[in-house]
């Protein structure tokens, strides 16, 4: 029964990714030197506070290429690169963004490399901070995103570190933010 469920789940995600692949538009990235003020956007990226186990917003000004998919990818890459203000990284070292899809119904699908799980330090609270760093950073900065589905190495995962279910898309959680 578990094998059947796994196959059905895998087929469902393959279908979603195929549909997403048809809907994704790849916009050229605009270098900062060529972007006008209208192309810049103030964003809030969520990292772990160095003194307390909560997320804190780190404000940055980024170039918005006008494509929500490309802009969302930029946000995730900035999270992977870590804080520039002394906050703690939420994405484990070595993690790479494998792919990103934005479906027309507001669902963002983020696919991380296996390092996302393998290098995660564990604990329920750290798992929450990692997941909602990604979810909050996307939903609160990209109006086209209202839910985020996390994949690991191209596959649906039950959890990241054994605590929070990843079977269903996540929505923003500001209770973790100070």
CA 69/CA 138 separation, integer angstroms: 10
pLDDT tens per residue across span 24-56 = 333 344 454 454 555 899 999 999 999 999 999
pLDDT tens per residue across span 95-148 = 999 999 999 999 999 999 999 999 999 899 999 999 999 999 999 999 999 999
pLDDT tens per residue across span 7-19 = 444 445 444 444 4
Q: What are the residue boundaries of the structural domains of the chain, listed by start? A: 2-176
66: left (phi over 0), alpha (psi -120 to 50) or beta: left
CB 49 within 8 A of CB 83: no
Assigned token pair, 176: 């973790």
pLDDT tens per residue across span 58-104 = 999 999 999 999 999 999 999 999 999 999 999 999 999 999 999 99
The pTM is what? 0.79
């Amino acid at each position: 029964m578990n094998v059947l469920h796994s196959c059905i789940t895998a087929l469902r995600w393959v279908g979603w990714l195929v549909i997403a692949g048809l809907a994704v538009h790849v916009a050229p990235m605009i270098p900062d030197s060529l972007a006008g003020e209208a192309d810049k956007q103030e964003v809030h990226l969520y990292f772990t506070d160095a003194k307390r186990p909560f997320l804190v917003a780190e404000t940055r000004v980024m170039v918005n290429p006008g494509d929500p998919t490309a802009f969302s990818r930029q946000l995730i890459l900035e999270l992977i690169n870590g804080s520039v203000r002394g906050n703690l990284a939420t994405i484990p070292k070595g993690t790479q963004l494998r792919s990103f899809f934005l479906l027309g119904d507001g669902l963002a699908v983020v696919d991380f490399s296996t390092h996302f799980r393998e290098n995660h330090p564990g604990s329920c609270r750290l798992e929450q901070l990692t997941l909602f760093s990604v979810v909050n950073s996307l939903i609160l900065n990209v109006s086209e995103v209202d839910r985020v589905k996390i994949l690991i190495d191209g596959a649906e995962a039950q959890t990241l570190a054994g605590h929070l279910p990843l079977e269903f898309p996540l929505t923003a959680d500001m209770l973790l933010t100070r």
